């Protein structure tokens, strides 16, 4: 890649905005995933009685719905990120591309 283009992209205020927003949001989702995954793992490791206890009068234990929650949470978090990436992040990327293509004379995206 041409170093001039790289420098123009790095100097673009939309690029810095994109990196900051995406990084902050990514870390927020990462920490939420870690809390859910490690919380489930810690419950399995240290509270076997709870995880093995039955839900109501049936045969299902608490481990099954909590495990399903972990899976569904993963799908929801992924959908949230994809929706945001296809909306806000793509708009910033398009603004960066347009500004770099015309030599750096475009305004900062809102």
Instruction: Give the pLDDT confidence of 2-60 residue by residue, as tens digits.
Output: 777 888 888 888 889 999 999 999 999 999 999 999 999 999 999 999 999 999 898 99
Average pLDDT over residues 75-99: 91
What per-residue confidence (pLDDT) applies to 102?
79
What per-residue confidence (pLDDT) applies to 37?
97
pTM of the complete model:
0.77
Sign of CA dihedral 21, 27, 31, 36: positive
What per-residue confidence (pLDDT) applies to 109?
57
DSSP states along the chain: --HHHHHHHHH-HHHHHHHHHHHHHHHHHHHHHHHHHHHHHHHHHH-HHHHHSBSTTSS-BTHHHHHHHHHHHHHHHHHHHHHHIIIIIHHHHHHHHHHHHTTS-PPPP-
């Amino acid at each position: 890649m041409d170093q001039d283009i790289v420098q123009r992209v790095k100097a673009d205020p939309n690029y810095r905005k994109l990196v900051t927003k995406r990084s902050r949001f990514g870390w927020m989702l990462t920490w939420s995933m870690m809390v859910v995954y490690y919380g489930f793992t810690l419950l399995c490791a240290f509270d076997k009685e709870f995880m093995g206890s039955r839900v109501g009068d049936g045969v299902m234990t608490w481990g099954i719905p909590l495990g399903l929650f972990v899976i569904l949470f993963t799908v929801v978090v992924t959908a949230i990120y994809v929706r945001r990436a296809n909306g806000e992040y793509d708009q910033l990327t398009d603004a960066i591309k347009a500004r770099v293509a015309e030599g750096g004379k475009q305004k900062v995206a809102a």
